[in-house]
Amino acid sequence: MLTHDDGAVLGKFEGVKPHSRWILGETLQVMLHNGVDRPADVAVRMKIPPSTAAYRVRLLRELLGPDLHDPAVRLAMMRALRSALPRWRAEAAYAKRRRTRK
């Protein structure tokens, strides 16, 4: 669940499954904080394979569209991610525990 402030800029993540939302949020945070959007740069900073970074960046571009390049929205997303990511991480862990119990 997003807070009122987060919802405006991170609302597009609401329909994404918990684990994917957390992983994409982590990737977006790296992109925003480092000013990078090339998959190769993301891969180096996250220490993940380039193909994984390319896939995540492509998903974020599809999900966020032009918002990804708007400086005001980027700043708002950076702020919102600060509070959303811990919550998304917890939701992903909870969803994983529920799946393993079934």
Q: pLDDT tens digits, the chain, 102 residues: what are they?
A: 444 455 688 999 999 999 999 999 999 999 999 999 899 999 999 999 999 999 999 999 999 999 999 999 999 999 999 999 999 999 999 988 877 765
The predicted pLDDT at position 96 comes to 82
Looking at the structure of the chain, the number of domains it has is: 1
Cβ atoms of 81 and 32 closer than 8 Å? yes
* Single-letter amino acid, residue 72: A
Q: What is the value of pTM for the model shown?
A: 0.87
Q: Which residues contact 17 (CB under 8 A, 6 or more apart)?
A: 95
The predicted pLDDT at position 4 comes to 43
The predicted pLDDT at position 2 comes to 47
Q: Which domain holds residue 15?
A: 4-101
Q: What is the pLDDT of residues 28-53, one digit of tens each?
A: 999 999 999 899 999 999 999 999 99
For residues 90 and 57, what is the distance between their CA atoms, to the nearest angstrom?
23
**Element containing residue 86 per DSSP (H, E):** helix 71-101
